[in-house]
Amino acid sequence: TLEDLRSATNFSNAEIIEMHKEFLKDNPSGLITMEAFKMMFSELFPFGDAFAEHIFMTFDNNGDYSIDFREFLFALCITSKGMTEEKLELVFNMYDMDKNGFITQGEWLDIITSTAKKVQAVKVDESTSLKKIEKIFRRMDTDSDKEISLEEFIQGAKNDPGVCKLYQLFPIP
């Protein structure tokens, strides 16, 4: 209901109604498909289609390979009005590609290399990237289990002012 959306997102009734009208104008079926999302994302972020899939899957909360208005509104709320912890959780969920509640070094490396391969101007040295990821893991993986949990990720980001500042302004459309 409108009340549920308003209380969950802190958007006003008028904002939700207007966004819903715009959403349906752009998506008459009431759903955003992966292909439509990639097209929209590529208009905003050229060379970003590899990462667009990860973002799409993060926004698709019920796993039906589409984003409905509720999922869209929640994603918009987090990216535009969310607290740092909420944005960090969103980033964590993008990196946790198998959705098991942990980020592995392999998942982190896959995100970096798949995204960089699409940006052909950027050469990615996997061994250098892996060394950087290992350094991040040494700082964040406090229980040394070779995985980063959501709690470790948030705490690690909060302990690194550069990372925390980056995600306070996290620019997801």
Report pTM.
Answer: 0.74
Question: Cα-atom radius of gyration of the chain, to the nearest Å?
Answer: 17
- Across the range 140-167, mean pLDDT stands at 83
Q: Kindly indicate the confidence band of residue 128, based on its pLDDT and cuts at 50, 70 and 90.
A: low
Q: Is the pLDDT of residue 173 over 60?
A: no
The Cα–Cα gap between 110 and 152 comes to 20
Beta bridge partners of 66: 33
Q: Look-up: residue for tokens 């290992």?
A: 134
Residue 157 to residues 60, 75, 108, 122, 140, Cα–Cα distance (Å): 24, 21, 15, 25, 8
In whole numbers, what is the pLDDT of the chain averaged over residues?
Answer: 82
Residue 87 to residues 31, 62, 64, 120, Cα–Cα distance (Å): 23, 19, 23, 28
CA-based nearest residue to 68, from 37, 100, 93, 97 = 37
According to the model, what pLDDT value does residue 170 have?
Answer: 44
CA atoms 112, 113, 116, 118: torsion sign: negative
